[in-house]
Amino acid sequence: MRWVRFSESGAFKYGLLQGQTIQEVSGDPFAGYQLLNKLYDFSAVKLEVPVVPRTFYCAGLNYAEHALEAARKAGREANLPPKADIGYRANNALIAHDEYVVIPPDAGEKVHYEGELVVVIGKRASHLTEENALSCVLGYTIGNDVSERDWQRADRTLWRAKNSDTFKPMGPWIETDFEIEGARTIVRVNGRVTTEFKTADMIFNCAKFISEMTRYLTLWPGDVIWMGTDGASPNLNDGDLVEVEITGLGVLRNRFIRDKKNA
Amino acid sequence: MRWVRFSESGAFKYGLLQGQTIQEVSGDPFAGYQLLNKLYDFSAVKLEVPVVPRTFYCAGLNYAEHALEAARKAGREANLPPKADIGYRANNALIAHDEYVVIPPDAGEKVHYEGELVVVIGKRASHLTEENALSCVLGYTIGNDVSERDWQRADRTLWRAKNSDTFKPMGPWIETDFEIEGARTIVRVNGRVTTEFKTADMIFNCAKFISEMTRYLTLWPGDVIWMGTDGASPNLNDGDLVEVEITGLGVLRNRFIRDKKNA
């Protein structure tokens, strides 16, 4: 099933997508729902982020090549994470499919994409094992962990480097039937492929992260876990269109524009 | 005014506290409310965290003595933050006044409190100046930024060091008329004062943080900003009762217990 969240006349709604048609539901995919006799054309609705999480988790470095690349650029030894320590991102930064990433006027040139698989939690969960970890998962979506690299190096936290408003595109939907084996993450800038990697090539996979996390914390319905990225991004410029595709899941598309107001 | 959030028969409610009496409202302090003719005895209701924030911000190091103490213990130069870089905490860890902080079975001995002033945002805000920054503030509450110091040093992120379930007591209420000038933060363990400092002795004050943050991010109603702590905590043991008082605001009280299930 493919869950979409959309808005109409200021109200937020959930629906199930089949082909190009959305069937609205009452309720939501987390607390329960009933199908309604209301149909919408997918291309006619305003898509919203598929969920605003209670807690927004992010794995950070979780693919070997990306970690090595980051180390090379910083002129230091590669520092592969020895264990699955989860990190965080911030809800203020979330935007939906087709919304604009607005680069702040004082950002440097090194604004980069990071295409990521996103796990969407469906059930409250704690103390899961690696074997039953995925039992709490509702489905998967796509995230673009937009990053300003000068701020990432200079600031004490990742607040504006990764959490400036609009820096966290997520969507377009939640796919409940996604199979990670064989999936590829493909990023295109203005139609040209700039990054491609096997989605499953993680240092710590989804089940490992969930089992480690739930030793100490409770996952709640609607929580999301961004699973990290591989490879490197070119510098993104005003007007660039970035598409993050995960095969079998969908395409998350956002245009980048530079805020020139106070430039 | 003093806002309390409480639960009754499984439903979450907001009310205004006068003396020992809560008057329930419909709605909430963020989107708007109306007084109802329903009164409760404060001591008879189950208090809840005053708000579950959309984004949970935390200043981290923001008092000179605490930063110097942390540096001494780590055997390194004190590293006072050069600018107001905000950090994050996680909603899973929130608990209310009088709920238990449960220390995980494999936590070390260095489990510490950090008594903090908490700013509660009332209005959506961006691009505020230091002069008008406080216009978006609904009021203030108290936080205890419970920390496990071995994990804080060893892990790549602060996830279990600071965000294990129950590690973020917040409450007991939101006070809209709090004046920081002259206020003192006083922490007691089992009735004995162990830390005391001037609440306003911050490196970067609330207005400074809000003005810096809103250059890049939008604050939303219900967001909270934990403003950091001063001094140091003794190691907390099974059964210890910790009270964080901020004069003119209230007392946040939580007992610490050690989970012995898997010890």
Give the DSSP per-residue string, A159-225: HHHHHSTT-EEEEEEEETT---TT-EEEEEETTEEEEEEETT--SS-HHHHHHHHTTT--B-TT-EE
Residue A155 near chain B (CB below 8 Å): yes
Domain assignment of residue A150, yes or no: yes
Instruction: Tally C-beta pairs within 8 A across A and B.
Output: 95
Contact B157 A60 (CB under 8 A): yes
Asked which of A74-78, A232-236, B145-149, B188-192 is least confident by mean pLDDT, the reply is A74-78
Give CA A209 to chain center in angstroms.
Answer: 16
Is residue A262's pLDDT more than 90? Answer: no
Give the span between the Cα atoms of B78 and B142, in whole angstroms.
27
**Chain A residue with minimum CA distance to B81:** A156
Asked whether residue B43 falls in the same domain as residue B85, the answer is no
Give the span between the Cα atoms of A93 and B88, in whole angstroms.
13
Asked whether residue B75 falls in the same domain as residue B125, the answer is yes
Contacts of B104 (CB under 8 A, 6+ apart): A215, A216, B148, B160, B164, B259
pLDDT at B37: 97
Domain assignment of residue B144, yes or no: yes
pLDDT at A263: 47
Asked whether residue B20 falls in the same domain as residue B73, the answer is no
Name the CA radius of gyration of chain A, rounded: 18
Model pTM?
Answer: 0.96
Identify the CA nearest to A224 among candidates A22, A58, A74, A85. Answer: A58
- Proportion of chain A above pLDDT 90, given as a percent: 89
* Cα pseudo-dihedral B114, B115, B120, B125, rounded to 10: -50
Specify the CATH number for the domain of residue A54. 3.90.850.10
CB hemisphere CA count around A165 (13 angstroms): 19
Q: What is the DSSP letter of A235?
A: P
**Chain A residue with minimum CA distance to B54:** A91
pLDDT at B139: 98
Give the span between the Cα atoms of A203 and A220, in whole angstroms.
24
Chosen for mutation from A49, A52, A56, A85 (greatest number of chain B CBs closer than 10 Å) is: A85
Residue ranges in B114-238 assigned as alpha helix (H) = 149-154, 159-163, 206-213
DSSP string across B43-109: GGSEE--S---SSEEE--S-SHHHHHHHHHHHTS-----SS---EE--GGGEE-TTPPEEE-TT--S
* Number of domains chain B is built from: 2
Can you tell me the mean pLDDT for A138-153? 97
Asked whether residue B207 falls in the same domain as residue B87, the answer is yes
Is residue B70's pLDDT more than 90? Answer: no
Specify the CATH number for the domain of residue A20. 2.30.30.370
Domain assignment of residue B72, yes or no: yes
Q: State the nearest Cα–Cα gap between B88 and chain A, in angstroms.
A: 7
Give the span between the Cα atoms of A80 and A32, in whole angstroms.
40
Top-confidence residue, B61 or A255? A255
The range of the structural domain enclosing residue A4 comes to 1-48
* Residue that is last in its domain, among A30, A48, A66: A48
pLDDT at B263: 46
pLDDT at A55: 98
DSSP string across B146-167: -EEHHHHHHSSSSHHHHHSTT-
Give the span between the Cα atoms of B111 and B235, in whole angstroms.
5
A22, A39 Cβ separation under 8 angstroms:
yes
A228, A116 Cβ separation under 8 angstroms:
yes
B20, B40 Cβ separation under 8 angstroms:
no
pLDDT digits (tens, 9 = 90+) for A204-249: 999 999 999 999 999 999 999 999 999 899 999 999 999 999 999 9
Asked whether residue A79 falls in the same domain as residue A148, the answer is yes
Peptide bond connecting B172 to the previous residue in cis, omega within 30 degrees of 0: yes
Can you tell me the mean pLDDT for A4-11? 93
Asked whether residue A247 falls in the same domain as residue A199, the answer is yes
Domain assignment of residue A160, yes or no: yes
pLDDT at A88: 98
Residues of B in contact with A54 (CB under 8 A): 52, 91-92
Asked whether residue A234 falls in the same domain as residue A245, the answer is yes
Q: State the nearest Cα–Cα gap between B37 and chain A, in angstroms.
A: 30
φ/ψ of B73, rounded to 5, equals: -65, -30
Contacts of A11 (CB under 8 A, 6+ apart): none
Asked whether residue A28 falls in the same domain as residue A134, the answer is no
Asked whether residue A23 falls in the same domain as residue A114, the answer is no
- Proportion of chain B above pLDDT 70, given as a percent: 99
Bridge-based pairing state of the strands B147-148 and B168-175: unpaired
B177: exposed, middle or buried (Cβ count in 10 Å: 0-12, 13-18, 19+): exposed
Q: State the nearest Cα–Cα gap between A167 and chain B, in angstroms.
A: 10
Q: Between the CA of residue A174 and those of A194, A250, B83, what are the distances in Å?
A: 25, 9, 39
pLDDT at B262: 57
* Residue that is last in its domain, among B48, B69, B84: B48
Asked whether residue B30 falls in the same domain as residue B111, the answer is no
pLDDT digits (tens, 9 = 90+) for A156-187: 999 999 999 999 999 999 999 999 999 999 99
Asked whether residue A102 falls in the same domain as residue A168, the answer is yes
A62, A81 Cβ separation under 8 angstroms:
yes
Domain assignment of residue B12, yes or no: yes
pLDDT digits (tens, 9 = 90+) for A37-89: 999 999 999 999 999 999 999 998 999 887 787 788 888 887 788 999 999 99
Identify the CA nearest to A226 among candidates A170, A184, A173, A178. Answer: A170
Task: Note the ipTM here.
Answer: 0.95
Domain assignment of residue A263, yes or no: no
pLDDT at B87: 97
Domain assignment of residue B263, yes or no: no
pLDDT at B260: 85
How does residue B141 score in pLDDT terms, banded at 50, 70 and 90? Answer: very high
pLDDT at A80: 86
Give the span between the Cα atoms of A152 and A10, in whole angstroms.
36
How does residue A196 score in pLDDT terms, banded at 50, 70 and 90? Answer: very high
A 48-87: CB under 8 A from B: 52, 54-55, 60, 81, 83, 85-87
Asked whether residue B79 falls in the same domain as residue B186, the answer is yes
Domain assignment of residue A72, yes or no: yes
